[in-house]
Every structure is written in structure tokens, then in C-alpha cells.
């Protein structure tokens, strides 16, 4: 079995090992037992997409006591409905308004799920801060002059 096929059943085994029922998770997350049953069976027909799907997965992981970030990352890597990339969204929006989506966004191989981590690098240096234009530096001086602060 592939990692994708074992994703939901692996989470179900962990939940059962910890003695947590789907009813407990449903009460804690306000998501129906039917959706959680489908989640554990990798059946995402009735599931939301994007940020909502990731939110549901994060809530499930927290309710079970698992590392939420790790479970969400696995979910995003294995299933397209949790995809964090903006490319599919931009393509769909381009179709709605009649634009050629291929001209707007080109897929990059490194952004494909299973490639590199698509989250921002927390160790990246901060962008240099530019000095405000001269007209904006004048405002504080005028304020001090008018209100004698």
C-alpha cells in the first residue's frame, strides 16, 4: 500500500489506540462523525477544499493528540484538496473570467506536492527596510510643531 492509501487508516489506528471515539472528536470540532469516518477512509468526496480541509485535519490531529503541523503537512503532500499552492486557485479563477490560465501562471517542478516544503523559510533574512520618502518624514515634524510635543 502507498503512503497515500495508509494516511487515514494510520490516523484511525492512532485514535483508537488512544481510546478516543469519533463522537468525541465530532463534539470537540463541530464536524460530523460522517465526515470523520470518510476522512479515516481517505474518502474526500464531501470534504471542503483548501484552507478549510487543512483546518479540519489540524483540528482532528489536535483532538487525537498528534503533532498538528506534521499531520497537515502530510495531508497537503498526499492529497490535492489540501494543496497550499496558489496555482490551482489562480487557474480556476482565470477560467471563470475567461482568461488563458497557462499565460498567467507556469507550474514549477519544485512546487509539486512531494517536492520541497512550500512554507516560508523561518531562517530567511528579513527584507531590507527602506527609508520613507521625504514627504512622509515631514509629517512627524509638522505634528510636533503644531502640538508642541
Cα within 13 Å of Cα(107), Cβ side: 8
Enumerate residues 6+ apart whose C-beta is below 8 A from 17.
none
Q: Residue 126 has which C-alpha cell?
A: 528579513
Q: Name the residue among 62, 74, 51 with its Cα closest to residue 28.
A: 62
**pLDDT by residue, tens only, the chain of 149 residues:** 788 889 999 999 999 999 999 999 999 999 999 999 999 999 988 888 888 888 999 999 999 999 999 999 888 888 877 666 656 667 777 778 877 666 554 545 444 555 545 555 556 666 666 766 666 677 777 777 888 76
Which residue has 499531520 as its cell numbers?
A: 71
pLDDT of residue 125: 65
pLDDT of residue 102: 64
Amino acid at each position: 500500500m502507498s503512503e497515500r492509501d495508509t494516511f487515514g487508516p494510520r490516523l484511525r489506528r492512532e485514535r483508537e489506540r488512544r481510546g478516543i471515539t469519533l463522537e468525541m472528536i465530532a463534539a470537540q470540532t463541530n464536524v460530523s462523525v460522517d465526515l470523520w469516518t470518510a476522512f479515516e477512509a481517505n474518502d474526500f468526496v464531501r470534504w471542503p477544499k483548501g484552507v478549510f480541509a487543512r483546518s479540519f485535519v489540524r483540528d482532528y490531529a489536535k483532538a487525537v493528540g498528534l503533532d498538528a503541523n506534521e499531520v497537515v503537512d502530510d495531508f497537503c503532500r498526499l492529497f490535492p484538496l489540501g494543496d497550499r499552492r496558489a496555482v490551482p486557485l489562480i487557474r480556476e479563477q482565470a477560467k471563470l473570467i475567461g482568461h488563458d490560465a497557462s499565460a498567467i501562471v507556469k507550474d514549477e517542478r519544485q512546487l509539486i506536492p512531494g517536492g520541497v516544503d512550500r512554507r516560508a523559510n523561518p531562517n530567511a533574512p528579513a527584507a531590507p527596510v527602506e527609508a520613507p520618502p521625504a514627504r512622509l518624514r515631514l509629517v512627524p515634524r509638522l505634528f510636533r510643531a503644531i502640538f508642541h510635543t
